[in-house]
């Protein structure tokens, strides 16, 4: 694609003071980002057992790693305080909310934002489901049925019936219309495996994976586009996106140092056992450990976490982040664009690794943005 057409988004979850969150979202729009994305979490990815200043300096600013507002309330506030930037969930899931409720919520967000809401959705994460007594079962089937139900309720003026393995609807209605006639919020799917990519080709308006190298990204995108063609859809109508966790510094050596921090190593644990196998090692929590499902941070004490960090070599952490100087990251972004990516979301995690890097890291992000956006 033409690099000048590349859309760039960022992470915008409100943490702490609501007024600061509003100031931040206004600043994000003023900088020129095309989209801003909000985490839908009850629990954060970091155990409170290691949320201490000696290990994670962010703990000096935020009392708990699990401080999250309701995502849809925050999106409403963000929409009311902006005019142009798109607003999406990164991502929600159909375990905690019935698909009819999600359909209603996003039409509401559509009206509040005047057509700027994106429904980012996936199969979910164990940490937001299992500790709260919600049964984890058939996540892919549940997601597919949910998307079908959402579309049925959006696009039908009459009563809706649905007889699925998970959901049963009889004479269900949702009569609210979108902000712009005939234009419903786009549904972006956080797909990684072949089955999910195939589903994205059939049912998605966009694709929002994370942690793929450009080569793998292109291979997965091909699956999506082939699936779209088989379903009689135009593949060009599906927006290929990617979520990128970045660590940026003018000194590449500093980035290597930050990759060794507890914060960076903790995020590496979210990867599947397959990610670790690529480097010839076993996931610290077991050979069949699947991070997105099995990693429940509140289950791990400090000693267990520190022992796990010792088992993670630098090359494995390296594979979990895009890191380097602004120019190096620009080059990597261009590789994704060449692989077919049209909408890239940058999440600056540098300062979370070392709070003293806050100003310099956002300076690096600014250089990246200036390159692509002028």
- Mean pLDDT, the chain, as a whole number? 96
**What SS3 class is residue 348?**
strand
Mean of pLDDT values over 63-91 = 97
* Contact in structure between 75 and 89 (CB atoms under 8 Å): yes
Mean of pLDDT values over 55-81 = 96
Q: What does the alpha-carbon distance between residue 355 and residue 234 come to, in Å, rounded to a whole number? A: 45
**What SS3 class is residue 6?**
coil
Helix (H) / strand (E) element for 142: namely helix 139-155
C-alpha distances in angstroms, 286 versus 48, 125, 289, 309?
22, 18, 5, 14
In this predicted model, what pLDDT tens digit does every residue of 204-242 receive, in sequence order?
A: 999 999 989 999 999 999 999 999 999 999 999 999 999
183: which DSSP letter?
A: B
* Contact in structure between 202 and 143 (CB atoms under 8 Å): no
Over 80: is that where the pLDDT of 1 sits?
Answer: no
Query: Who has greater pLDDT, 320 or 324?
Result: 324
In this predicted model, what pLDDT tens digit does every residue of 4-33 receive, in sequence order?
A: 789 999 999 998 899 999 999 999 999 999
Over 90: is that where the pLDDT of 183 sits?
Answer: yes
Over 80: is that where the pLDDT of 3 sits?
Answer: no
Most distant CA atoms of the chain, gap in Å: 61
* Contact in structure between 129 and 95 (CB atoms under 8 Å): yes
Q: Where in the chain are the domains?
A: 3-251+322-373
pLDDT computed for residue 342 by the predictor: 98
Query: Who has greater pLDDT, 320 or 39?
Result: 39
Name 48's Cβ contacts closer than 8 Å, sequence gap at least 6. 64, 65, 66, 297, 298
Fold of the domain built from segment(s) 3-251+322-373: TIM Barrel (3.20.20)
Split at pLDDT 50, 70, 90, the class of 274 is confident
- Residue 19 sits at φ, ψ, to 5 deg, of -65, -40
Split at pLDDT 50, 70, 90, the class of 278 is confident
C-alpha distances in angstroms, 183 versus 88, 178, 179, 335?
16, 6, 8, 32
Enter the tokens of residue 359: 């100003």
């Amino acid at each position: 694609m033409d690099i000048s057409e590349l859309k760039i988004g960022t992470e915008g979850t409100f943490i702490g003071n609501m007024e600061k969150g509003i100031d931040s979202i206004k600043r994000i729009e003023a900088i020129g980002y095309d989209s801003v994305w909000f985490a839908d979490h009850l629990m954060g990815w970091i155990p409170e057992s290691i949320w201490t200043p000696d290990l994670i300096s962010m703990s000096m600013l935020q009392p708990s790693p699990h401080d999250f507002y309701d995502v849809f309330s925050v999106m409403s506030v963000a929409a009311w305080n902006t005019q142009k930037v798109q607003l999406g969930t990164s991502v929600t899931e159909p375990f905690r909310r019935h698909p009819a409720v999600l359909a209603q919520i996003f039409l509401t967000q559509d009206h509040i934002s005047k057509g700027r809401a994106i429904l980012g959705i996936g199969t979910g994460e164990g940490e937001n489901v299992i500790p709260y007594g919600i049964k984890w079962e058939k996540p892919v089937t549940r997601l597919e049925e949910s998307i079908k139900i959402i579309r049925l309720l959006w696009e039908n003026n009459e009563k809706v019936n649905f007889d699925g393995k998970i959901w049963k609807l009889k004479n269900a209605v949702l009569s609210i219309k979108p902000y712009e006639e005939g234009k419903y919020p786009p549904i972006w799917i956080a797909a990684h495996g072949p089955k999910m990519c195939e589903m994205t080709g059939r049912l998605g308006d966009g694709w929002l994976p994370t942690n793929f190298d450009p080569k793998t990204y292109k291979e997965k995108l091909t699956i999506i586009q082939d699936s779209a063609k088989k379903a009689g859809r135009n593949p060009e109508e599906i927006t290929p996106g990617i979520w990128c966790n970045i660590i940026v510094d003018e000194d590449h050596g500093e980035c290597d140092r930050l990759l060794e921090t507890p914060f960076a190593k903790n995020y590496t644990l979210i990867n599947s056992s397959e990610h670790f196998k690529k480097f010839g090692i076993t996931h610290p929590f077991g050979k069949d450990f699947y991070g997105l499902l099995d990693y429940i941070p509140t289950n791990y004490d400090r000693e267990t976490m520190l022992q796990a960090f010792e088992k993670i070599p630098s090359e494995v952490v390296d594979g979990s982040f895009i890191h380097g100087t602004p120019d190096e990251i620009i080059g990597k972004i261009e590789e994704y664009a060449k692989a077919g990516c049209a909408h890239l979301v940058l999440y600056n995690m540098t300062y979370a690794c070392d709070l003293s890097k806050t100003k310099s890291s956002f300076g690096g992000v600014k250089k990246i943005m200036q390159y692509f956006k002028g």
